[in-house]
Copies of this chain bind each other. A is one copy, B any other.
Amino acid sequence: MIKTLLVVLAVAFAQPQADLSGPWAFAVVDLGVTNTSRMVLTQSGETLSGRIGNQPVEGTFRGGAISIKSADRSATGTFAAGQLTGELSQGGRTLKWTATRIPPRPVQPRTHTFEPTTFELYFTSRVAPVLRIAAGDTVRTWSVDAGGVDAKGERRSGPGNPQTGPFFIEGAMPGDTLVVRLNRIRTNRNWARSGSEVMANALDPYHHANLKWTEPFNSRWTIDAAAGIVRLEQPPDNLKDFTVPLRPMLGCIGVAPGQQLAVRTTDSWRFGGNMDYNQLVEGTTVYLPVNHPGALLFVGDGHAAQGDGELTGDALETSMDIEFTVDVLEQPNYGQPRAENDDYLISIGVGGSLDQALQMATSGMMRWLERDYKLSATESAIVLGFAIKYDVVDLVGTQVSIAAKLPKTALSKLRKAS
C-alpha cells in the first residue's frame, strides 16, 4: 500500500493533472468501420463538459482516468502519451474509442509549394495524403491535363482526370465545411485538346442519329495566354477566325467521399469532384462538405475554357498552375458543394437527372438562406423567386449537375440576423 501511495504521489507530483480542454478527434471503431467526430472539452478542475459532434457530453477527469457520457452513450478511458483510449457503451454494445488532439490553427499561415509526383484517378480516402496543411495555409502546385500530360508535354499518369493531392487539412473533421479559395488558376503551356462531338445526352436522339461528325478531326488548340485566346491549330474554313476567350477553370475539385468510397475522377457527387463547372475560376471560393478527418482535397482537370455542361465531353483540356488557400468552418455543412464569387452565392446540385440536380441545387440554396441568413421558407421563396439564376453545370458522368445562384445584389437587401 505504501508502494501504491508512493506511485500515486509520484504521478501526482511528477505529472500534474493534464488539461483536456480543447478539440479532439474522437474515433470509434465499430465492426471494422471507424467513425470520427470532433469532441470539444472544457475542463474545470476534475469536471468535463462539452460535446461530441453535436451531442452535449459531461464527465470527469481524475488521475488520468476519463469518464464521459451523452444522452445515449457513455465512455471511460485513460489519458496517456497525449492520447485518450477507452471503451464506449452504446445500444448495449461495447466499442473501442480513441481521441487525439486536433492541433490548434497556426497563428501564422504558411505557403507550401508542392511538386506532385503521383496522380490519383479516384476520389477516395484509401490513399495516403501527399501533404498535410493547416487551415489558413496556401498551396502552390500544378496539375496534369485530363489525359495525364504535364506542362512539358510529358505523360505522367494514365488518363481520366488524374488529380493532384490529396491534401490533408489539419483539423478538418466530418461534418465541417472545407473552404478552398482559388487564388490562381492559370494555364501553364501553350496547347490544349478537346472533344469534337456533342455528347448524345445533350441532343434530341433523332437529331443525334443523323449527325455526320468529321473524322478524323484535329482538335488540338493553341493557347495564346498573352492575347487571352485559344484557337484551333488546324481549323476548318468556317472556323478560321474562331477563337475562344481564355478563361482557365478547374474541372475537378473535391474531397474524399464518405467512408471508403473510391469514385473515378471522371465522376462527381455530393463531395464535389469532376463538376466541370465553368464558374470555378481564379477568384472563386469553393465550399465542400468534409467527410473524413483531414478532408483530403483533390484538384485537377484544368480547362482553358468551357461552355456550359462540358458539351463535348472533353473541354479545352490542359495542364494548370494552381494556387489555393484553405480554411475550415466547423458548421454548417450542407452536404453538397457550394461556391461564392464577387457576384453570387452558388449552390451546386448533383443528381441522376437534371431535374433531380435542380432540386438539390434549389434546396441547398434555401438551406443556406435559412441557416446563414435566418430566412423563413416563405422569405426564401420570395427572394429566390425573383432573383435566382440557374447554370447547367455538367452533363458528363453518372451524375449531372445544376447550380442555383443568388446574386449578391439581392443578398445585400436582406436583413441578415446577427
A75 at the interface (CB under 8 A from B): no
List of B residues within 8 angstroms of A196 by Cβ? 378, 381-382
Known: A237-B415, A378-B214, A398-B398. A359 touches B205 (CB 8 A): yes
Asked if A363 lies at the interface with its beta carbon under 8 angstroms from chain B, I say yes
Q: Which of B195, B206, B259, B390 contacts A200 (CB 8 A)?
A: B206
A185-244 interface with B by 8 A CB criterion: 194-198, 200-209, 211-214, 217, 219, 230, 232, 236-244
Q: A310–B236 Cα gap in the complex (Å)?
A: 41
Shortest beta-carbon contacts, A-B, top 10: A352-B352, A200-B205, A262-B262, A312-B385, A354-B354, A390-B392, A204-B363, A214-B378, A307-B388, A353-B353
Closest CB in chain B relative to A82 CB, distance in Å: 29
CB-defined A-B contacts under 8 Å, sample of 19: A31-B156, A121-B260, A196-B378, A196-B382, A198-B377, A203-B359, A214-B378, A217-B378, A236-B379, A238-B374, A239-B415, A307-B386, A307-B388, A308-B389, A311-B381, A316-B386, A353-B353, A392-B392, A398-B398
Say yes or no: B382 contacts A242, CB within 8 Å: yes
Q: Using Cβ atoms and an 8 Å threshold, which residues of chain B touch A237?
A: 415
Per-position 1/0 for A85-120, Cβ under 8 A of B: 000000001000000000000000000000000100
B243 touches A307 (CB 8 A): no
| B residues near A395, Cβ cutoff 8 Å | 358
Whether B239 contacts A383 by the Cβ 8 Å rule is yes
What 0/1 pattern do residues 237 to 266 of A give for CB contact below 8 A with B?
111111110000000000000111111100
Interface: A269 (CB within 8 A):
yes
Contact residues in B for A413 (Cβ distance below 8 Å): 239, 241-243
Answer yes or no: A305 CB below 8 A from chain B CBs.
yes
Q: A195-B381, A244-B386, A390-B392 are in contact. List 10 more A-B contacts (CB 8 A).
A: A31-B156, A196-B381, A208-B208, A214-B376, A230-B386, A238-B415, A269-B398, A309-B358, A312-B384, A354-B354
Q: Considering only CB atoms and an 8 Å cut-off, how many residues of chain A contact the other chain?
A: 108
Chain A positions within 8 Å of B, measured between CB atoms, are: 30-33, 93, 118, 121-122, 124, 126, 148, 155-158, 194-198, 200-209, 211-214, 217, 219, 230, 232, 236-244, 258-264, 269, 305-312, 315-316, 351-356, 358-360, 362-363, 366-367, 373-392, 395, 398-400, 402, 410, 413-415, 417
In the complex, are the beta carbons of A363 and B415 less than 8 A apart? no
Task: Kindly identify which residue among B243, B261, B381, B402 contacts A122, using a CB–CB cutoff of 8 Å.
Answer: B261
Chain B residues whose CB sits within 8 angstroms of the CB of A417 once the complex forms: 238
Complex Cα spacing A387 to B310, Å: 10
A362 with B311: CB separation less than 8 A: yes
